[in-house]
Structure 1
């Protein structure tokens, strides 16, 4: 157990920024309209590829149950194939406003901590909102896109002009659980998950995504693992199967 905990610690403890890159699908799969298993590669701030994950899900679910298909993705250390963490997503209703049950969620576990935490959808009306919970069910972070108009609309200009440098960039703010004011252009998050375009060809013909994750200052390796799980969760809900 100690050895397993060390795998996560040595990869995440000093990681303040991370880039998560989805592997491109082949042209044959695209032409056939098949939804391939999601493979991701993980890079630290020094651009070192330190981990890889591949989701375990059935082809039928990926085709028929988008964007709510269940999966299990195990993140393994590059070179040793030792498990860093596992992200598990059950089948639930798609992300939608005004729900009272069946909220989207993923659970995150490690070999040394089978209940590390969860990311759960909350009831929302205008902008989708999520919370990151630790293993005891305590709220660690709030998660949603930047807003304007008193929280009623997504701020499409947060990353710049959407017709210029902000084109195809989709940010999600990571806010401390105790932060009350998370809406409006003046709200400052503790971290950020940014989905950004890889290239024009990727945007038009594949759903190969790239995410930049800015970890909150002072966050533990466990909390960073929860945000990695949150990134896969956001990808599955908002960016898979869109092309």
Structure 2
């Protein structure tokens, strides 16, 4: 695996933030669907150090007419250089939805041409559930929103009172693939959280910001897979519906 992955997702890296570059309000008013662009920051121990950027590569017409499920490539390049840290590929599949038996949403990740792994939607009835796998296809982590009512509903109060400190927060929890009980507040090993935006940003753009905390014992490889999963979640659950 790339030495650069070890450098940016090594043992000392406990958390990062991925922030979407704002799209101009005039682009939105004119109906222009721009490519997604993100900036990646180290946030461990209160840091706020930008270390990478990623820019979606996709067909303009597909972005306009197949917004929720269009295919794209997204290379992540180290800040200040053109060196690839990793690249994500999302093929065109049916939009996420309950009760599907095929054509699940998925995204694969590579580093320096080597397969790192993938994230794939699974069958579900009420709460979206995904699985992160490594380059050999072996499962590594389960991913889904916090749940209640025996796992049948998304717990909207998991991050606090949605009318108070939990307002506009949306989280996805990460569990070991072999953990049987992942519902009703079961302990997770990592979290991907969409954080609140300012009113101006919320109204005039569809930019998103995510805080990611990693498992304590995760390898650089596995941390990178969780980071890439953030882009998958944004494309399917936030970008597709305008961030609601």
TMscore range, shorter length: over 0.9
Tell me how far 1:85 sits from its aligned partner: 0.1
Residue equivalent to 2:31: 33
Report the TM-score, using the length of structure 1 for normalisation. 0.95
Residue equivalent to 1:77: 78
Contact 1:35 1:241 in 2 (8 A): no
Contact 2:25 2:204 in 1 (8 A): no
Residue equivalent to 1:204: 203
Tell me how far 1:89 sits from its aligned partner: 0.1
Work out the CA distance in 1 between the residues paired with 2:97 and 2:240.
17
1:89-123 deviation line (CA, Å, top 9, x unaligned): 0000000111110000000000052x110000000
SS of the aligned residue for 1:30 comes to helix
Equivalences, count: 238
TM superposition outliers: structure 1 runs of 4+ over 6 Å:
none
Work out the CA distance in 2 between the residues paired with 1:239 and 1:112.
29
* Unmatched segments (≥5 aa) in structure 1: none
Residue equivalent to 1:106: 107
1:37-92 deviation line (CA, Å, top 9, x unaligned): 10000000221000000000111111110210100000000012210000000000
RMSD, aligned CA: 1.1
> Aligned match of 2:19 in 17, 21, 46?
21
Residue equivalent to 2:230: 231
Tell me how far 1:242 sits from its aligned partner: 3.2
The equivalences for 1:189-200 within 5 A come to 189-200=188-199
Work out the CA distance in 2 between the residues paired with 1:33 and 1:80.
32
Work out the CA distance in 1 between the residues paired with 2:63 and 2:200.
23
Tell me how far 1:224 sits from its aligned partner: 0.9
